[in-house]
Amino acid sequence: MTTTTPAMDFGPALNSVLDTVDRWQEEGNYPLFPVIAEPLGTRARLADGRLVSVFGSCDYLGLSRHPAVTEAAVAAVQRFGTHCYGTQPVGGFTELHRELESSLATFFGTPAAALFPTGMQANIGVLATLAGPGDAVLSDQLNHGSITMGGRLSGARLVTFRHNDLADLEAKLIAAVGDRRRIIVVDGLFSADGDFAPLAGIADLADRHDALLIVDEAHSGGVVGPHGRGAAELLGVLDRVDVITGTMSKAFASTGGFACGSERVMRMLRHSAGAYLLSLGLVPATVGAAVAAVRVATEEGQRLRTRTADNASALRARLREAGVNIGASEAHVVLVHIGRVDDTARIATRLLEQGFLVNPLFPPAVPIGGARLRIGVTSAHGRDEIDAVAKAITHAQTC
Ligand SMILES: Cc1ncc(COP(=O)(O)O)c(C=O)c1O
């Protein structure tokens, strides 16, 4: 771009995004893009020298610093280098990728798994493959944006039902009786609300109305359920889910997405999903780390999950006692509801200044007027850190 390129007009909606960002920066209320100089587990040194407690991470089992995981990432680079030859069907699939597929399938108790470059692409690829013109995709209104994108890209009729509202879902399934196929898709644990989908009721409706059921276990996989298999296991419906989607970017302390389900569906994804075929295979370091993380989540998972759950329940209790509005939060993702975007940006900035990194969520990730903070609780947090962040949030809300 030359210096003579005229300022680009993005249109009123997008221009207002940049206006807001400019205003936050001028007022000293800009909480985004903190530059991390040194990650230290639940603490991090920022580039300006500040030490912060990290509550903005989804490393729910604390595996990103586990020696078995970091050593596996290094060993993968030493053996396979930093890159892979191509997309998965043409050279981007090593013995490590094969091992990760089979360990994810074993972990989630499904016949097969397929790896995607990201969890976002897993959702897009699964929906755009399983649904098509003539079908109805029934999607919870608070589902992750990548599910909405996949539903739109599929060419199916995208029908949104009210959040966790079984009656509304049933009404919409009945209205979809003339569609070729009905596909229900939900987040197992809603990451912007912290509540679980009522999966037992949803599975009953799927049976009654001959619908497929897809559950995104991005935030719940590895973390909840007797074996860490996610919300579907926790709620006793694992064997009634047709396809699980998920990510290695949270409890599995790496990056990359996956789908788990029948061998036939996985083969179809591997041979036809654009979101699978059009990006390079996952690089060896991320695959090596994820293989080790799945192993640790199997071998040490019970202890780590208990610790995450105890930490989360302590934080929820502290915040509720202090009168902080955490809405429906019932797991390790705890939401602090604030409302206005400016207030949310200001509070997140103050918290960062006081040494707490949390995630501010703004529309469109949440509804207009529903800006909030997301606190990710992990097994690695100490109870002193939980107490300190609860105190800081309570104080920041009242200032
Ligand atoms: C519910 C849900 N699904 C999918 C994703 C996408 O995961 P990834 O980071 O691997 O693209 C996210 C990421 O935040 C998520 O919250």
Same-domain pairing of 75 and 216: yes
Q: What pLDDT was estimated at residue 115?
A: 98
Same domain, 204 and 108: yes
229 and 148 in a single domain? The answer is yes
pLDDT score, position 398:
73
What CATH number is associated with residue 326?
Answer: 3.90.1150.10
Tokens standing for residue 155: 């060419």
122, part of any domain: yes
| Per-residue pLDDT at 399 | 66
Q: What is the rounded CA–CA span in Å between residue 262 and residue 367? A: 35
- Do 71 and 136 reside in the same domain of the chain? yes
My answer on whether 200 and 333 are in the same domain is: no
What is the distance in A from the centroid of ligand 1 to the CA of 130? 19
Clarify whether residues 74 and 208 are in a common domain. Answer: yes
Ligand 1: list residues with CB < 6 Å. Answer: 118-120, 123, 144, 146, 187, 191, 216, 218-219, 247, 249, 257
d(CA 290, CA 257): 10
Q: Which two tokens stand for residue 186?
A: 């939900």
Q: Tally Cβ neighbours within 10 Å of residue 50.
A: 15
Banded model confidence at residue 43, pLDDT cuts 50, 70, 90: very high
Same domain, 230 and 309: no
Residue 301: its pLDDT value, please? 96
- The pLDDT score that the predictor gives to residue 10 is 86
Point out the ligand 1 atom lying closest to the alpha carbon of residue 123. Answer: 4
pLDDT band at 12 (very low <50, low <70, confident <90, very high): confident
Scan for tokens 């991005």, then name that residue.
218
- The mean pLDDT of the chain is 96
φ, ψ for residue 36, nearest 5 deg: -85, 125
pLDDT, residue 11, reads: 86
> Annotated catalytic residue: which of 97, 144, 172, 250?
250
Q: How far is the CA of 119 from the centre of ligand 1 (A)?
A: 5
Element (H, E) at 99: helix 95-108
Mean of the pLDDT values across residues 36-46? 95
| pLDDT over 70 at 35, yes or no | yes
Catalytic site includes residue 250: yes
pLDDT of res. 14:
85
List pLDDT tens digits, range 252-284: 999 999 999 999 999 999 999 999 999 999 999
The CA-atom distances, in angstroms, between 192 and each of 206, 300, 386, 391 are: 25, 28, 20, 22
Name residues whose C-beta falls within 8 Å of residue 225's C-beta, 6 or more positions apart in sequence: 231, 232, 233, 234, 238
Whether 251 maps to a domain, the answer reads: yes
Using one digit for the tens of pLDDT, what is the confidence trace for 199-230? Answer: 999 999 999 999 999 999 999 999 999 999 99
High-pLDDT (> 90) share of the chain, %: 94
Q: What is the average per-residue pLDDT within 236-242?
A: 98
282 token code pair = 């996952």
Number of domains in the chain: 2
- Same domain for 385 and 313, yes or no, is yes
Same domain, 368 and 246: no
Domain range for residue 248?
66-299
